Structure 1
Amino acid sequence: AEIYRVLGEPQKSLEYNLKDISICEKVLPQMHPDLATSFNNLALTYKALGESQKSLEFNKKALSIQEKILPPEHPSLALSYNNIASTYGALGDHQNRLDFNKKALSIREKVLPPVHPDLAQSYNNLALTYDAIGDLGQAVDFMRLAVGVFEKSLPAAHPDVAMAKKSLASLEEQLSAGAG
């Protein structure tokens, strides 16, 4: 299912995700981490299909399992919070997007080294969220953090470094245009 999703064939991915869930629900306990992973994969497929509401439903099912079986600062929780934030963004619910991005960042700041690319991704996500709600000052601050961590954790030619730098330049331009 994941291969089809990555290859840009979400309909085929959906078919296999649904088979996977059907099997997992029959053979695994309700609170099994593999079932949470299957729900997360299905959520990603629904998001790829543009069905954000269904994506959110399965993100939350996965999170419900993870919150019961994982320690509160487990990196998988941060990833789930990140996925839910992204889905809320697709739905235009920027307050929930902000809340879940903050939860993801809180975990990542505690468990990851200060120059980890996932930490940079959380800073990037918060920058984009603050931009969406019109707080350009916060957006610039978080994008600067993202660029700094990406530059220290990834090769200079990595696309995430270039994208973050481009986003930072755009945000700084918007901020200075608004201030002038």
Structure 2
Amino acid sequence: MIHMIQEPCYSVPKKLCAFFAPDDIPHALLRDNASTLPAPLDDIMTNDLKWDDILLALRRYALVEVGEQTLAVHRLVQAVTRDRLPVDERSQWTEVAVAQIAKVFSDAGEPFEPWTWPTYSQYLPHAMAAVSHADKASNASVGTAFLFSGIGAYLRERAQFEESKPCLERSLAICEQVLGLDHPDTAISLNNLGYLLEAQGGLAGTQPYYERALAIRERVLGSDHPDTANSLNNLGYLQYSQGNLSRAKAYYERALTICCLRLGQGHYLTQIVQANLEALEAAE
């Protein structure tokens, strides 16, 4: 638990900012997701009068720039702030920084939707800084895995494959370490790596990731779960891309049966699988 006994109010954002990128730190990043902060920090950051006092105090620092919507903190100030924190408190602030960014990414939506890209782009430097500090502090948490996954997925969608891969690999490693080899979130990380390899054209290397994700989902979620159908569709598309039409059709048909049963004809996943199956049948 982070303690704030007899600390000046401006120490709250200064400590938190030490775990983000130094420039263009949105005020919203510090304030809008205050539910991730322990009491009484949430009240300090959301109270407009206290926030005005914080900004007034920060303006007295030569190495802190306070803008209308963002802050900038000199790298030296960040480094000194981190170094002066006890190890436990440094670890706690790292977790808070990761949670703040993770909440922003969660609220923004899926990175495969282009309308989410401005948010991901704005917060990407701060996300990279937060997970870097978490890794250095060995803070292997579900939140860190989620953030690595969000970063990697966004970079993949922007065709920045080389930058995406280590983030997705780190997400998978943390999920395996923290959640276990058979957890549904581990399956999501496997799928994300499979998507990346598929986007790069590495179809042969993609299959083990998709197959392992399918095995986890069948075992943990059930053979008729929508996530299982998603994995079946992925494997169907992979087989179709490799010219194995009969195997692709079997995957698609099973996926479509699950989707119609569990999601209905109007669901987007049902429609995707249906379209994939129709394209395959037209190619036969």
Fold conserved (TM > 0.5)? Answer: yes
Map 1:84-95 → 2, pairs under 5 A? 84-95=193-204
Question: Is structure 2 residue 47 aligned with structure 1 residue 47?
Answer: no
Cα deviation, residue 161, structure 1? 1.4
Residue 119 of structure 1, aligned match among 199, 204, 228: 228
Structure 2 SS opposite 1:145 = helix
| Secondary structure at 1:157 match in 2 | coil
- 1:13 is matched by which residue type in structure 2? Y
Which whole-Å CA distance do the structure 1 matches of 2:115 and 2:158 have between them? 10
Partner AA of 1:92 in structure 2: G
1:178 maps to what in 2?
A: none
Mean Cα deviation higher: 22-31 or 51-60 = 22-31
How far 1:18 sits from its partner (Å)? 2.7
Determine which of 135, 143, 150 is the counterpart of 2:244. 135
Q: C-alpha displacement at 1:7, in angstroms? A: 5.5
Q: Tell whether 2:162 aligns with 1:30.
A: no
1:151: which partner in 2? Answer: 260
Q: CA deviation at 1:157?
A: 1.4
Q: Deviation of residue 159 (structure 1)?
A: 2.2
Distance across 2 between alignment mates of 1:7 and 1:172: 31
**Which one has a bigger Cα radius of gyration?**
2
Equivalent residues, number: 175
- CA separation in 2, counterparts of 1:11 and 1:53? 21
Match of 1:104 in 2: 213
Where does structure 1 lack aligned partners over 5 or more consecutive residues? 176-180
Aligned-CA RMSD value:
1.9
Give 1:10 shift: 2.4
Q: Deviations over 1:31-55 (max 9, x none)?
A: 2221111110101110121212222
CA contact (8 A) 2:188 2:213 kept: yes
Residue 90 of structure 1: how far off its partner (Å): 0.3
Distance change >3 Å, CA 108–CA 9, structure 1 → 2? closer
Taking structure 1 as the reference length, what is the TM-score of the superposition? Answer: 0.88
Letter in 2 for 1:47: R
Give the one of 126, 135, 159 matched to 1:19: 126
Post-superposition shift, 1:104? 0.5
Work out the percentage of aligned pairs sharing the same amino acid. Answer: 23
**Contact 1:18-1:42 at 8 Å conserved across structures:** no
Matched, 1:162 2:271: yes
Superposed CA offset, 1:64-114 (max 9, x none): 222222221000110000111011000000011111100100100101133
**Structure 2: how far apart are the matches of 1:160 and 1:31?**
32
Runs of at least 4 residues off by over 3 Å: 4-7, 24-30
- Change beyond 3 A, Cα 1:48–1:12: same
The amino acid that maps onto 1:104 is A
TM value normalised by structure 2: 0.57
Do 2:127 and 2:151's aligned partners in 1 also have CA atoms closer than 8 Å?
no
CA contact (8 A) 1:82 1:100 kept: yes
Report the Cα offset of residue 172 of structure 1. 2.1
Q: Distance in 1 between matches of 2:116 and 2:225?
A: 31
The structure with the greater share of residues assigned to helix is 1
Distance 1:17 1:146, change over 3 A: same
